[in-house]
Amino acid sequence: MSRREELAQELVEYGRRLWERNLVGATEGNLSARWDDGHFLITSSGRSKGHLCVKDVILLRMDGTLADANPTGRPSSEWEHHAVIYRHRPDVQAVIHAHPPVATSYAVADEPIPANVMPEAVMVLGPVAHVPFGLTGTPALGQALEPYVAGHKTFLLAHHGATVLGASVADACHRMETLERVAQVLLVANQLGGAKPLPDDVFATLAQQYLNGNL
């Protein structure tokens, strides 16, 4: 199996994992992985992420033009916000966009997901950016995200869903799973009287570890 086939297979496998965990439904979401400085692989439009195959992964240039001569499908219409991330963050190797139900509810309600409530929120998510609305399938989505890319790994997209960065496809998937888990815990904690923050010294220590860590 070639390196490209292996990377495409990773996107297929983690797409299925997201679907199995109800982080995407129907044909929602898109996954991508950097191929080199000028190209990335991205999942096809209109395909269930639980039922992808390798031929559903398409090679694009950073300007969105096809690098494959005869792809079997169309690349995700949301390719541009992946490209924005790859252009601005050479450390990023994978991007996942999904619609995790509880985290997306926070995006729809314009409610913050604070970093100081759980160690996982500090260490895995970091500060969660709330990105203003950008119409899906248009350049506006990437334009809305662009100002936040340099300082964040985790993004809530207003009225839309969530996007996360990763040092690998697995890393990005784990970050998306953690985002939804933290959102679920916060929702219940707030129903129980309100989430209480970590002690300031603990949060400061964890935040420093986040800053010193790799992507």
What one-character DSSP code corresponds to residue 121? Answer: I
Per-residue confidence (pLDDT) for residue 180, from 0 to 100? 98
175 three-state secondary structure: helix
Please name which of 81, 192, 92 lies closest in space to residue 137, comparing C-alpha atoms: 81
**What is the span of the domain harbouring residue 112?**
3-212
Q: Are 187 and 114 in contact (CB under 8 A)?
A: no
Per-residue confidence (pLDDT) for residue 106, from 0 to 100? 98
Q: What is the chain's length?
A: 215
pLDDT classification of 213: cutoffs 50, 70, 90: confident
The tens digit of pLDDT for each residue in 94-138 reads 999 999 999 999 999 999 999 999 999 999 999 999 999 999 889
Per-residue confidence (pLDDT) for residue 137, from 0 to 100? 86
CATH number at residue 161: 3.40.225.10
Average pLDDT score over residue span 151-160: 97
Q: What distance in Å separates the CA atoms of residue 21 and residue 77, rounded to the nearest whole number? A: 23
pLDDT classification of 166: cutoffs 50, 70, 90: very high
Q: Are 148 and 82 in contact (CB under 8 A)?
A: no
Per-residue confidence (pLDDT) for residue 98, from 0 to 100? 98
What one-character DSSP code corresponds to residue 146? Answer: G
66 three-state secondary structure: strand
Question: Per-residue pLDDT for 70 more than 80?
Answer: no
78-114 burial, b at 16+ Cβ within 10 Å, e below that, comes to bbbbbbbbbeebeebbbbbbbbbebbbebbeeeeebb
Per-residue confidence (pLDDT) for residue 211, from 0 to 100? 80
Q: Are 115 and 127 in contact (CB under 8 A)?
A: yes
The per-residue pLDDT of the chain, averaged, comes to 95
Is residue 36 within a helix (H) or strand (E), and if so which, with residue range?
strand 30-36
Average pLDDT score over residue span 208-215: 81
Per-residue confidence (pLDDT) for residue 212, from 0 to 100? 79
Give the total number of structural domains in the chain.
1
Q: What distance in Å separates the CA atoms of residue 22 and residue 18, rounded to the nearest whole number? A: 6
CB hemisphere CA count around 1 (13 angstroms): 9
Per-residue confidence (pLDDT) for residue 141, from 0 to 100? 94
- Top pLDDT among 158 and 211 is at 158
Question: Per-residue pLDDT for 1 more than 80?
Answer: no
